[in-house]
Amino acid sequence: MGECGFRGGYAELIGFDEDTIYQITKLLSSMLCPNIAGQLLFESYVNPPIIGDPSFKLYSIEKDQILRSLSNRASMLYKSMQNIPNISINPVQGAMYAFPRIFLPENAVSASLNHSDPILRIPDVYYCMKLLEETGIVAVPGSGFGQVDGTWHFRTTILPHEDIFDEFLLRFRQFHIRFLQAHS
C-alpha cells in the first residue's frame, strides 16, 4: 500500500564496516526535512489495523474501495487504449502507471526532428507536449525510460478520480485521432 507523495523504505546494512555505517547514518541524519510523517505512514503500511482493532472495519472498507477503484480505472484505461489506432498497451497490473507504445506517423516524427526547439526534437516529447497543450493531460515521454531506439511510448497514470476518468479517456482519444490526422 502507498500514498502518492509519500515514499517509504528501509535499508539493512549487513557486512559493511563500522565507518561506512557511521557515514551512511550521518548522511541520513543530516536531512533538513523531518521524516516523522513518512515514518508514521510507513508504520501504518507495514502494521495495518487487524481484526479487533477499533479502526479495522473502516480501514478495510476504505482499502477495498480504493483498490477496487484503482482496478476499475486500470481496466478502463486498458480497454479504451486498446481500441485507439496506433497504440499498443499491456494490461495495467499492480501499478498506478501504464506505458503505451505509440506508432507515430512519419510526418509526426519529421515534424519533431525538424522542430526549432531542441527538446521537442524527440518524437515522444513532441507528442506529449502537444497532448499537454491541447488537452491539459500530462504524460511522461517514454524516451526518458530508455526505450528501444525508433519506438515511442509515454507513461500515463490511472490516478484521475473515477468520476472524471471517462472524460480523461475521451479527451485523450480525441487528441490522439486529431494528432494522427494532422500528421498523416
Domain for residue 52, yes or no? no
DSSP letter at 91 equals P
Instruction: Name residue, grid cell 530508455.
Output: 146
Q: Which domain holds residue 105?
A: 57-182
Confidence (pLDDT) at 7:
65
Contacts of residue 167, defined as CB under 8 A and 6 or more positions apart, other chains included, come to none
Contacts of residue 16, defined as CB under 8 A and 6 or more positions apart, other chains included, come to 24
Task: Let me know: does 179 contact 127? Beta carbons within 8 Å.
Answer: yes
My answer on whether 121 and 156 are in the same domain is yes
My answer on whether 101 and 124 are in the same domain is yes
| CATH number, position 110 | 3.90.1150.10
Q: How many CB atoms lie within 10 A of CB 132?
A: 13
Confidence (pLDDT) at 58:
97
My answer on whether 110 and 164 are in the same domain is yes
Domain for residue 174, yes or no? yes
My answer on whether 40 and 73 are in the same domain is no
Number of independent structural domains in the chain: 2
My answer on whether 133 and 159 are in the same domain is yes
Q: Give the pLDDT confidence of 137-182 residue by residue, as tens digits.
A: 999 999 989 889 899 999 999 988 899 999 999 999 999 999 999 9
Domain for residue 95, yes or no? yes
Helices (H) and strands (E) in the chain, counts: 6, 5
Q: Give the pLDDT confidence of 87-134 residue by residue, as tens digits.
A: 999 999 878 899 999 999 999 999 999 999 999 999 999 999 999 999
Confidence (pLDDT) at 169:
96
My answer on whether 78 and 166 are in the same domain is yes
Domain for residue 163, yes or no? yes
Band of pLDDT at residue 8, cut at 50, 70 and 90: low
Band of pLDDT at residue 5, cut at 50, 70 and 90: low
Q: Give the pLDDT confidence of 30-72 residue by residue, as tens digits.
A: 766 666 777 787 788 889 999 999 999 999 999 999 899 999 9
Band of pLDDT at residue 3, cut at 50, 70 and 90: low
My answer on whether 34 and 62 are in the same domain is no
